[in-house]
Amino acid sequence: MDPAVAMDGGRMLERMPSKREQLLLFAKNFVKHPKMLGSVIPSSRFLIDKLLAPVDWQKARLFVEYGPGIGNISAEVLKRMHPDARLVLFELNDDFADFLRTGFRDPRLIVLHRSAADVGRVLADQGLGQADYIISGIPFSTMPEAVRNEIADATYAALAPGGQFLVYQFSPKILEVLTPRFSRIDRDFEPINVPPAQLYFAHR
C-alpha cells in the first residue's frame, strides 16, 4: 500500500499530505501570521494523544475542529473515528484551507473557510445536528473579548448534551470564557510540545 494512503474502520483515506508538505506550509504561515499560530512548529504527537484521550471513538459521530492549520490533529481524528462519523474543519487562513481541501481526500471530511463563531449555523445548514466533540487550538488569548465570547457561546450551543470542548492553549486566559459556561472543566499539561501546552476538557 502507498504510504500516503491509510485505512481505518473499512474506510479509505485516499491521500494524506506528507510531513514535509505540512512543515513547509506551517513555517511559511508562522512567518506571515505568528499571533494566529502561536507556535513555530506544529503540535507534538504527545499533545495530540493527550488531547484526544477522552474521546469515545465508538460512539462519537460528529467532530468539529477550529483552526486545524496543516491538519496534523485532523489526520489523527480521521484515522481513529468511526466510518460513519463526520469531521468538520473551520479554517480562516486561505493557505491552510486550500491545503486541507487538496491534501486530505476523505468522504467524511468537510473543510470550510468560515469563522468558528458560525459553528451552529454551519452544522444546521449541513443537517448534522450537534457535535460530540469540538477541538480547538485557536489562540483565545490574542482575540478581542467580544470575539472570544461569541465563539464560546456558539461552541456551547453547538455541543450535544454530554459533549466536550477539547482545547489546547499556551495561556490560561481561556478559563475566562470557559468557566462561566461549562460546569465541569478538567485540566492537563503537556510539556513535550513547543511551547509546552495547557489542555482543557470542558463538559457540556
Q: What is the pLDDT of residues 157-202, one digit of tens each?
A: 999 999 999 999 999 999 999 999 999 999 999 999 988 999 999 9
143 pLDDT higher than 80: yes
Q: What is the pLDDT of residue 95?
A: 87
Please provide residue 40's backbone torsions phi and psi, each rounded to the nearest 5 degrees. Answer: -80, -15
Q: What is the pLDDT of residue 152?
A: 98
pLDDT band at 43 (very low <50, low <70, confident <90, very high): confident
- Interhelix angle for 45-52 vs 72-80, to 10°? 50
Distances from the Cα of 110 to the Cα of 76, 86, 166, 189, angstroms: 15, 8, 19, 30
Is the N-terminal amide bond of 195 cis, ω within 30° of 0? yes
- Residues 4-14 have a mean pLDDT of 42
Per the prediction, the chain carries an average pLDDT of 86
Which residues are CB-contacts of 19 (< 8 A; sequence separation ≥ 6)? none
CATH fold of the domain at 12-203: Rossmann fold (3.40.50)
Cα 53 from chain centroid (whole Å): 14
